[in-house]
Structure 1
């Protein structure tokens, strides 16, 4: 298929043609005719003169609904009506005069100037039409390679030499159809995005409901446990709360993503709809870049997270494997010889203590002088701590924890007010928690291995029978004011032994 390149001689409107590989001779001849007439109408001098003729001398704007008066001058209908109304509002009886030549005229002489109104409409169309920024010519051609509308002079420039060309009026419908197809696609994506936003809100409500149900389950189960299990409940709930916050944050982030995408889709749709309403030249200006940027826009659907809480407590394990749970916090406790009463005898590994005859020991301000007591070497100020004491078949002892600075030089009953949290076994009164007053403990089975659990931040001290895995007693919540140390009081024929961690008897 052959084509021609158009060359128009300035000033004459005549055209000569030579072969061009992209446009047919018939199309370019037609274009030449259009260009010649367009040049005549859109020339700067002619346009300026027409604009002067069409400008109202009263408001200095292009006339709106122009009317002519008796002398032949034309004005905006509204402008001339204002002059008539102002004159009518005065007491003067003189006739209205033309604002340009002062010729008198009557209201009845006003005539609509249809030809001038058509000229004004043409001028407005010329104003709206996009022209070549370099040559000031109308953009008749569309360069397929550069994706831009160009004028006939641009077509002959080196910048566009050898490029594929088409008439703007030929390619305009196709590109407009492509843009409208993208708008349709984006609207479908937006509708789907709105649907997902509704589902997302339902997911958040369901997630809140599931979390609340799980919280109620955990609380109901943990109410059946005592003391240590209360601490475990709080630990589980903290983990559940953290899980809730983390997943809820992800759900809200997912919702925010959908809201953002919806807004972006709305902006793209409005942008493309406005572009589709533009003139052919404006629509085609940068249309390939617009298509490239927007044709692949697709809703990014965030991954659906699981709405089933992952924090699950195995209550059967909590009930029947208490020892295993406590041993997670077990520490190794040894006896401090510098605190031992003179009647107490410590084994070489300092894990066993018995009571015998008074022994000569070097002086220490840390030593107990009135009561047959000894402290553990380890001090506790934070966290959870657990240690075990083998009491065997002994008939009398006291064990627990105490503040490091308790009095050691006088006889007294250990109690929380004095810095002691301990339980006691005596032949007359049996097992007692040394509260104030003491609390008798009715134990079904005699414990041989005692467990002591300390939760420093929670202010709890609990005791367990580790032969059965059962809870014995927990002191009321306290606020510890210093370092706590293991505390032991030993009677005759009732030795105490501190087994290493993870050993059982």
Structure 2
């Protein structure tokens, strides 16, 4: 059979006599068949690979024509040296005179792609175009399939209409998956932040445990190791749970990203291609199970910093601290139990305004200041309301007339004790640490040379908080601050303080 493709002579037929490239002369199926024929090598009967043209104008794969001529060498008979017959027309051609046909390379590739699509667009049973979509079977069918006995009772729609409906469903699923990806990414970020914060808190607690043991060098090293091991176990358990949650979210994020990518690619295909596997595609979305593990930061570290016998050691530095009545807030009552008398009775009709008296808060300071050495004292608390108390030390020259935040920058090294959930405006914008479950008996230890103030629960010996700095700027005084009237009492040595109601 003779064939010719455009300007490249192929098997002896001219362009003018070849009708296959007239789109109106045949239907799409016939056009595809002719295109396949023109893109096929007559030797290997497959699509051209590296096509070349002989001198007589026929096209073959380069390897095919060379192998054909190689076989011809062993045959007997007279042949012109260096010339071999064309497998198509038998005309003698110089072996070296082969020209690459680049245009035919593109035609062969077009034929491969067109025929692959054409095959998918046709019913495999009847070779008819797939123009309908069976909603019962969830698959495209042709008009011949529609007339089959089992298909007559099925619900059928045109392909384009069904594609629009399912495209809408796919878009809804894509939107849902994008939202789930966003939620997962948010949880991932929270999980990483939680892990970082938790490890930072563990780091601070570890440092505090080490420092507390350094203060009391006479205590057993085994107890120090035991506490560190307990903290390490707590850290490992908590970090392990957080890391497991993070790993789960990472895996879930990857799965969601992959499914989202597949759905997006599927939704961008043509109607028929989109509907080929639409049932499996939608089933993957419906079977998706998205979970969100909790990633909340623990409220507090369970491992406490408790050095056995530390309170007893600190009591060797105990001072007889007594509040100074001349510094007390006018309505702050001080009752001395030994002498059974009020040290600072409330004013009757007028309020003393001496330079030493606190007038902004219900506060008082100790009679004795400290500018060196180590000192320890204890304060008992009987808290009855939702008030806010403060204990610690302050500079001897702090403002007693103005309301200022009780922070180291303003000369206060104190902890706040809050029994209730409300914070009084008594100490606005204050920065001291607040204990939501204050002990009934507080110990305060001042190491002036070390620049450190530490707070302890006397009942169980737990360390509560410490302030550390290079050096204190001057003499310090014990500081006491109560809440509102009827909110409780403080007991310092033999003196009981409360606010008059």
Q: TM-score range by the shorter chain?
A: 0.3 to 0.5
TM-score by length of 1: 0.43
TM-score by length of 2: 0.43
Q: Flag the structure with larger Rg.
A: 1
